[in-house]
Amino acid sequence: MERQKVKQLLSEMTIEEKVGQLTQFAGLFYSTQTNDVPVTGPVDFPVNDEIIETSGSVLGIAGAKKLIDIQKTYLEKSRLNIPLLFMADVINGFETIFPIPLGLGATWEPSLIEELQAVSAKEATSAGLHVSFAPMADLVRDPRWGRVMESTGEDPYLNGLFAEATVRGLQGEDLTQNSEHLAACVKHFAAYGAAEGGRDYNTVDVSERELREMHMPAYKAALEAGVKLVMTAFNTVHSVPATGNQALLRGMLREEYGFEGLVISDFGAVQELIPHGVAEDETEASKKALLAGVDIDMMSLCYSHSLTQLIKEKKLDESLLNEAVERVLHLKNDLGLFEDPYRGTSEKREKSTLGHASHKELARTVAEKSSVLLKNNDILPLTKETTIALVGPYADNNDLLGEWSIFGNMDETATLKDKLQEAFPTLTFAKGSDLYERNQDLLEEAIHSATHADVVVLALGEGRDRSGEGRSRSSITLSPSQIELAKKISELGKPVVVTLFNARPIDLTELEPYVDAILECWHPGSEGASAIVNLLIGDANPSGKLTMSFPRATGQIPVYYNAYNTGRPLPAGSEERFFSRYIDIPNEPLYPFGYGLSYASFEYSEARSNGDKFDRKQTLQVEIDVTNTCNVEGEEIVQLYIQDPVAEVTRPVKELKGFKKITLAPNETKTVSFEISEPMLRYHHSDLSYSSDPGTFYVFINGSSNCTDTNKLTITLTEA
Ligand code: GLC
């Protein structure tokens, strides 16, 4: 329908019908066939049929037949034939599940993320969905928070590239013409990742400068990529809950960033303005949320119960209601729903799309690229003739899809044991321990089974029940029973390779000395087991690098690479007292941002540049030679960091400004170059202006954030 007709349609709607467009409830309220609907928040409140029948969108339900039926029934009752919108969380895949986003981040390959998100969109739309609640662009620094798994990590620039790639992959070029794409929704606006103490839903208190410098870039990247929706966060921003925050939503998001799309609250967040202590009741919560610019109230009864009255009593201007409804109608129109409310969904299309072999193939490739080799004392890859004992609670465990795989199929997911025994038919297996509980019989059996092996592959980790929303932990170690198992197995004196399946950085300090290799596999998705076996036997070579630091201890949190120097930075190697340090552990994390090994090994030359001075109109070229010193091909992620050592405000010790992923044949050398230009040196000053200052900058090029002076250059931005 032509865009102008939306206004016409709006003018024909009653206030009640308009309010209906601004509410969203979970699929489980829709029909008896939907009692298998995943629940993503508290649902214990009374919703009557009238509310459901007038509500304009549905949350968290999918399946061609189901959604066609619901849409049909709905339209039969809709006076103006306005179709329903179906929204859900399609985060790392729909039925074909890819690694969790923290793993996707470790690929450092935004184009790959775009490709897999297009596959997710294809599957999700075949099952009738119109909107996905992705990308999650929250910057994360606290692995106690269960939701770090949904983020791509601790770097604003990298998060921005992934957010942009996700939007492009999900939305494609033209939503109206191409029903294999769906609308993306960037979340959680804003700074949800900064919850104090890593406790979910907790207070966020960041300065305006920190907000703009660290948290906003990734949301902005999604906006610039044309994302259709924005979801508000549960937390406060400058002491006002985001969902009722006019300065944040109307001020920053709409006026400053120019966002014209739809704003949806997070699950129940309008109602939560009451316990937050900024609204007395549902009426005041509704008023504050609409005034702030929240168009759709997801999963609370505030708008349904009070917006109509607020408008009729003229306590809220009807123009506010109209503009919100207009945005909902525009989204429906952009999706082509007025022409085809089913967007071409059919059971036939769904059947031929879901879990297609090419999707699975991609899932395997992505899982290979997302795994990070943290340690390897020359034991990996395993040679084919080796006798392997596979031990551990994650060895025969199909909990590999991650917490957001709500439409994935765990029962059909192969375990590491299934796939490893195809490669090693003589493999023995023993569980050794439950994931979180000790079991003496299992422990003894495992020791016995490992006795005759050449190498022990120990599959450890943390299940989906310990990660994701509402699953913060006060300690991020592996369970004591798994540590005990690793220690006992290591006493056998055989090489021990750990495959780690988890969804947050884990404190590996206690485990690390006892094992010879550690492969971080994350929750790797539907094809994760095949991918991990390929890596273990060297059919694939690890190339992933961490995008979130692995702390040495829970007490070291937050620890992140782009930190500040402080007035008393600890000199390298020093243990003196009056410096910024812990007296019981080093300052550095166990494994830093940007770190990850390969079966190849790479040597970096000294960095060089084509000059050391440049002005605002010029660029400088910096380059380095990287050599593969091994006889296997490998991929390396060459990273560019910049430090601004003297500025108007204190600046991070380094910031990622670029990277290149290269493939090097055995003994091959490649020159990797980067262009440095003035915009890369800009930052928010104390008055919040965003610009650069002339002066000296340090440039580092390395295979990790852990840079040394060898690959450091000094350059100068001149006044002219
Ligand atoms: C939540 C989450 C959000 C999700 C929404 C809908 O509680 O915070 O990320 O998109 O529910 O499922």
Residue-wise pLDDT tens digits, 327-349: 999 999 999 999 999 999 999 99
Residues 6 or more apart whose Cβ sits within 8 Å of residue 406 = 38, 40, 60, 88, 89
Q: What confidence score (pLDDT) does residue 31 get?
A: 66
The reply to whether 594 falls in a domain is no
Whole-angstrom distance, CA of residue 683 vs CA of residue 697: 13
Please pick, among 266, 295, 297, 644, the residue that the annotation labels catalytic. Answer: 266
Q: Which of 556, 578, 611 is the last residue of a domain?
A: 556
The reply to whether 713 falls in a domain is yes
Please report, for the domain that includes residue 680, its CATH number.
2.60.40.10
**Residue of 469, 471, 472 to test ligand 1 pocket, by largest number of atoms within 8 Å of CB:** 469
Whole-angstrom distance, CA of residue 466 vs CA of residue 705: 29
Q: Which of 532, 556, 580 is the last residue of a domain?
A: 556
The reply to whether 597 falls in a domain is no
Same domain, 335 and 376: no
Same domain, 338 and 459: no
Q: For residue 705, how far is its CA from the centre of ligand 1 (angstroms)?
A: 32
Domain count, the chain: 3
End-to-end, the C-alpha distance of the chain in Å comes to 53
The reply to whether 566 falls in a domain is no
Protein residue with least CA distance to atom 5, ligand 1: 267
The reply to whether 615 falls in a domain is yes
Same domain, 77 and 153: yes
* Per-residue pLDDT reduced to its tens digit, 40-87: 888 888 889 999 999 999 999 999 999 999 999 999 999 999 999 999
In which residue ranges of the chain is pLDDT below 70?
Answer: 31-36
Ligand 1: lining residues by beta carbon, under 6 Å: 40-41, 59-60, 89, 133, 187, 266-267, 469
Same domain, 525 and 469: yes
Residues 6 or more apart whose Cβ sits within 8 Å of residue 126 = 64, 180, 345, 349, 350, 353, 354
Same domain, 359 and 335: no
Nearest-atom number in ligand 1 for the CA of 41 is 7
Same domain, 368 and 497: yes
The 8 Å CB, 24+ separation contacts for 5-10 are 6/326, 6/329, 6/330, 6/333, 7/326, 9/80, 9/82, 9/329, 10/322, 10/325, 10/326, 10/329
Residues 6 or more apart whose Cβ sits within 8 Å of residue 72 = none
Omega before 381 within 30 of 0, i.e. cis? yes
Residues 6 or more apart whose Cβ sits within 8 Å of residue 648 = 685, 686, 693
- Whether pTM > 0.95 for this model: the answer is yes
Structure letter (DSSP) for residue 12: T
Structure letter (DSSP) for residue 247: I
Same domain, 277 and 422: no
Same domain, 484 and 609: no
Whole-angstrom distance, CA of residue 466 vs CA of residue 473: 8
The reply to whether 56 falls in a domain is yes
Q: Which of 525, 556, 587 is the last residue of a domain?
A: 556
What is the helix (H) or strand (E) element at residue 643, kind and residue range?
Answer: strand 634-643
- In DSSP terms, 52 is beta-bridged to none
The reply to whether 584 falls in a domain is no
Same domain, 325 and 437: no
Annotation says 266 is catalytic: yes
578-608 in b/e form (b: 16+ CB < 10 A) is: eeebeeeeeeebbbbbbbbbbbbebebeebe
Q: What confidence score (pLDDT) does residue 707 get?
A: 82
Q: For residue 530, how far is its CA from the centre of ligand 1 (angstroms)?
A: 30
Chain centre distance of CA 548: 11
Q: What confidence score (pLDDT) does residue 37 get?
A: 73
Same domain, 188 and 44: yes
Q: What confidence score (pLDDT) does residue 33 get?
A: 54
Whole-angstrom distance, CA of residue 11 vs CA of residue 24: 22
**Residue of 86, 133, 148 to test ligand 1 pocket, by largest number of atoms within 8 Å of CB:** 133
Whole-angstrom distance, CA of residue 557 vs CA of residue 153: 14
Are 154 and 593 in contact, with CB atoms under 8 Å apart?
A: yes
Nearest-atom number in ligand 1 for the CA of 192 is 8
Q: What confidence score (pLDDT) does residue 545 get?
A: 98
Whole-angstrom distance, CA of residue 591 vs CA of residue 292: 42
Please report, for the domain that includes residue 524, its CATH number.
3.40.50.1700
Same domain, 316 and 361: no
Helical axes 528-536 vs 416-423, angle rounded to 10°: 40
Q: For residue 300, how far is its CA from the centre of ligand 1 (angstroms)?
A: 13
Owning domain of residue 493: 355-556
Same domain, 393 and 431: yes
The reply to whether 92 falls in a domain is yes
